[in-house]
Amino acid sequence: MTADLRAVEAFLFHEARLLDEARYEDWLALFTATATYWVPSQPGQKSPVDTVSIFYDDRRLLETRVRRLAAAGAHAQTPPSQTSRLIGNVALAGLAPGEEGGVVAESRFQMVEYRRDRQRLFAGSYRHHLVPDADGFRIQSKRVALVNAGGVMDGITVPL
Amino acid sequence: MDGTAPPQLRALVTPERVHRSVYTDPALFELEMQRIWGRAWIYVGHESQVKAPGDFFSTRIGRQPVVMVRHSDGGVRVLYNRCGHRGALVVAEESGHADAFTCCYHGWRYDTDGRLLSVPLPGGYGDGFDLSDPALGMVPVARAASYRGFVFASLAADGPDLKTFLGHMATSLDDLVDRAPDGEVEVAGGIARHGYDGNWKLVLENLCDGLHPLCVHASSIEAARAQDDGAWTDGAGEIAVTQMRQNGAPFEFWQNQVGLWAYPYGHSYLGDYHSDARLVAAMENPAFRDYAARMEAAYGAARAREILSVGRWNSNIYPSLSFMSQFRQLRVVHPVSVDRTEVFGFCFRLKGAPDSMFEDTIRFANVTNATASPVLTDDLETYFRIRRGLTTQGSDWIPTARALGTDRPDEHGGWEAADGTSELHIRNMMQAWAGYMADVPA
């Protein structure tokens, strides 16, 4: 397929908006049935299999995570987080070994999270492997590399 | 009257209740740093983190930076991470290898046992300057000792030796190591770090608290129960969802079938609560068959069965450590201030076990220790709420009397709770707390 940067950007901005609006079930619908969502815990971490992660969700865990977030009464979201994400420096990149079809988008992001008197700033890079879909794209994998991946952080409840 | 005099300190803790200042008073925290964290055996690291001479790992004992390092004689040393000259941190990296440590400021150079080797322009420091003066070196902590590869240190020259301090809890460390077909474990898989705004005691109390999961983890339990097991998993979701469901065992199960034990010096362990064969080393689980065969080859069938049938969940070695052998997890508690705590999670690889075992270890770490775990985040929120609630004047006291009077002495010099939701472990930790705080050596 011909990669269209503008279409990819529009998709990433749409995804960010769903998260900022806490529309987690709509966000989940962006992922394929065999998707993974990964936030490494070590700078430069190569694999989610041999090293601990901040998030590492396969489709099954992602569904459970979203169900927990969407249900009322998760203590860590009482009160809920308010977030604002900015995405920039979007560029198309090559597929990695094992990835088939679609397009890889690399970008930079910042997310401000406000919850109960406290504001936190997260920053880093996104790597999305997107595959074509009738509506545009679906996310086959998303990796979020935080600049402070190796640091001590308080609990993170909302996806980055 | 001085609130930190022994009688006043002792009065803060009774079997029935604890004064809220034990969790909130900065002056008591300062005293804890001296009298508990400055005296008890504190977990430093595992020998596998410093395999070769010159390998080092930087950590903290209480708030004090130290370095665990393998010296050229093969022994492991624990040194204060402080230059003997101007006091700068000498080792700035968390881990690595060095033939010698050199201070960034004026180039003082230290051997891996802390001895000062050389300084630039040594003639300028005066006539009495002597490189062999121990005070000019990186000073070793008062005592360091190791049990089956687990390195502990005490900042006090006097006190019980490590073996006495560990007592029967050494068998929980045995349980972790014995599960390796080759008889050794090693740290692997990175460090999971998280922090919370709350006192350091809260995490230890929670890790042996059988009453909290149904309440604290209700949201992840319900979400996991509703999960369609037909959804795709590469193993991560299988382990995580199963574990979240196990947290939903009914109150009566925790009360009657789990078990809770407590031992001198504040130590305790919670019995295993898993009935699902995926989450224990069950012989009927295909994922464990290869492992079980290797265990039988190494130890013989009877001994292998004996090792794998030990059913302990979290073991706490007060005040710095909590670990569990079933999934090879270890948490190190780092107090920062009276209302700030950091917890570092480590994973262990069982030497001689199939790789799939370690992959499960990582999957399990991600659901129990990951900063974004749907389970852990609700524990951290709870610690915050305790911290905030205890600032009120609603009551100065926290009751700790649940199932008091029903705990029974066990055959190893400790106590066994008749009720798995007993607050035995909290009473036991608080008794140790009062002992350290009020029984000050002359």
Tell me: pLDDT of B21 over 60: yes
Both tokens of residue B185?
């474990």
**Peptide bond connecting B122 to the previous residue in cis, omega within 30 degrees of 0:** no
Q: How far is A6 from chain B (nearest CA, A)?
A: 31
B294 and B410 assigned to the same domain: yes
Partner-chain residue, chosen from B189, B232, B376, that has the shortest CB–CB distance to A51 = B189
B133 and B214 assigned to the same domain: no
Asked if A60 and B376 come within 8 Å (Cβ–Cβ), the reply is no
pLDDT recorded at residue B280: 59
pTM assigned to the model: 0.96
Closest residue by Cα to residue A4 from A125, A142, A127, A102: A102
Closest residue by Cα to residue B139 from B55, B67, B60, B204: B67
B128 and B183 assigned to the same domain: no
Tell me: pLDDT of B110 over 70: yes
Is residue B228 within 8 Å of residue A63, measured between CB atoms?
yes
- Domain with residue B54: its CATH number is 2.102.10.10
B184 and B83 assigned to the same domain: no
pLDDT recorded at residue B6: 84
Which chain A positions have a beta carbon within 8 Å of B189's beta carbon?
Answer: 50-52
Is residue B17 within 8 Å of residue B35, measured between CB atoms?
no
The whole-number average pLDDT for the span B232-256 is 93
pLDDT recorded at residue B88: 98
**Which residues constitute the domain of residue B392?**
167-438
The whole-number average pLDDT for the span B192-199 is 97
Number of other CB atoms surrounding residue B161 within 10 Å: 11
pLDDT recorded at residue B3: 74
Domain presence at residue B193: yes
Q: Which helix (H) or strand (E) segment is B30 a member of? A: helix B26-35
Residue-wise pLDDT tens digits, B283-328: 566 668 889 999 999 999 999 999 998 889 999 999 999 999 988 9
Distances (CA, A) of B192 to A65, A67, B79, B228, B321: 19, 24, 24, 29, 15
Question: How far apart are the C-alpha atoms of B43 and A76, rounded to whole Å?
Answer: 30
Partner-chain residue, chosen from A48, A58, A155, that has the shortest CB–CB distance to B371 = A155
Asked if A52 and B188 come within 8 Å (Cβ–Cβ), the reply is no
Which chain A positions have a beta carbon within 8 Å of B380's beta carbon?
Answer: 76, 154-155
The whole-number average pLDDT for the span B116-132 is 94
B115 and B58 assigned to the same domain: yes
Question: How far apart are the C-alpha atoms of B125 and B292, rounded to whole Å?
Answer: 63
Tell me: pLDDT of B84 over 50: yes
Closest residue by Cα to residue A52 from B74, B361, B127: B361
Question: How far apart are the C-alpha atoms of B289 and B19, rounded to whole Å?
Answer: 50
Domain presence at residue B186: yes
Which residue stretches of B162-274 are H helix? 162-166, 170-178, 201-207, 213-216, 218-225, 236-246, 251-253
Distinct helix (H) and strand (E) counts, chain A: 3, 7
Residue-wise pLDDT tens digits, B139-172: 999 999 999 999 999 999 999 999 999 999 999 9
Domain presence at residue B267: yes
**Peptide bond connecting B53 to the previous residue in cis, omega within 30 degrees of 0:** no
Domain presence at residue B203: yes
Half-sphere exposure of B425 (CA within 13 A, CB side): 29
B82 and B187 assigned to the same domain: no
Beta bridge partners of B349: B186
Question: How far apart are the C-alpha atoms of B205 and B270, rounded to whole Å?
Answer: 11
Residue B179 confidence class, pLDDT cut points 50, 70, 90: very high
Question: How far apart are the C-alpha atoms of B208 and B318, rounded to whole Å?
Answer: 12
B330 and B414 assigned to the same domain: yes
Residue B82 confidence class, pLDDT cut points 50, 70, 90: very high
B92 and B201 assigned to the same domain: no
**Share above pLDDT 90 across residues of chain B, in percent, rounded to a whole number:** 89
Tell me: pLDDT of B281 over 80: no
Number of domains within chain B: 2
B96 and B235 assigned to the same domain: no
Both tokens of residue A50?
């041999």
Q: Which helix (H) or strand (E) segment is B434 a member of? A: helix B424-438
**Residue in A closest to B360 by C-alpha:** A49
Using a CB–CB cutoff of 8 Å, tell me whether A34 touches chain B. Answer: yes
Give the orientation angle of helix B355-368 with respect to helix B286-299, to 10 degrees.
120
**Average pLDDT over all residues of chain B:** 94
Which chain B positions have a beta carbon within 8 Å of A55's beta carbon?
Answer: 366, 370, 372
Which chain A positions have a beta carbon within 8 Å of B364's beta carbon?
Answer: none
Distances (CA, A) of A105 to A34, A46, A141: 18, 18, 11
Closest residue by Cα to residue B196 from B25, B23, B37: B23
> pLDDT 10s per residue in chain A (160 long)?
456 999 999 999 999 999 999 999 999 999 999 999 999 999 999 999 999 999 999 999 999 999 999 877 799 999 999 999 999 999 999 888 888 889 999 999 999 999 998 999 999 999 999 999 987 999 999 999 999 999 999 999 999 9
Domain presence at residue B114: yes
Which chain A positions have a beta carbon within 8 Å of B361's beta carbon?
Answer: none
Picking from B121, B154, B187, the residue at the C-terminal end of a domain is B154
Tell me: pLDDT of B339 over 60: yes
Is residue B241 within 8 Å of residue A62, measured between CB atoms?
no
Picking from B125, B154, B183, the residue at the C-terminal end of a domain is B154
- Domain with residue B381: its CATH number is 3.90.380.10
Backbone Cα Rg of chain A? 15
Asked if A156 and B371 come within 8 Å (Cβ–Cβ), the reply is yes
Using a CB–CB cutoff of 8 Å, tell me whether A82 touches chain B. Answer: no
Predicted ipTM?
Answer: 0.96
Tell how far CA B86 is from the center of its chain: 32
- 3-class secondary structure, B409: strand
Q: How far is A34 from chain B (nearest CA, A)?
A: 6
Domain presence at residue B320: yes
Tell how far CA B341 is from the center of its chain: 13
Half-sphere exposure of B136 (CA within 13 A, CB side): 14
Question: How far apart are the C-alpha atoms of A140 and B216, rounded to whole Å?
Answer: 33
Residue B1 confidence class, pLDDT cut points 50, 70, 90: very low
Tell me: pLDDT of B276 over 70: no
Domain presence at residue B19: no
Beta bridge partners of B330: B323, B346
B74 and B198 assigned to the same domain: no
The whole-number average pLDDT for the span B216-242 is 96
Is residue B129 within 8 Å of residue B108, measured between CB atoms?
no
Domain presence at residue B18: no
Picking from B97, B120, B154, the residue at the C-terminal end of a domain is B154
B117 and B176 assigned to the same domain: no
pLDDT recorded at residue B440: 72
What's the CATH number for A5-146?
3.10.450.50
Per-domain residue ranges for chain A?
Answer: 5-146
B229 and B352 assigned to the same domain: yes
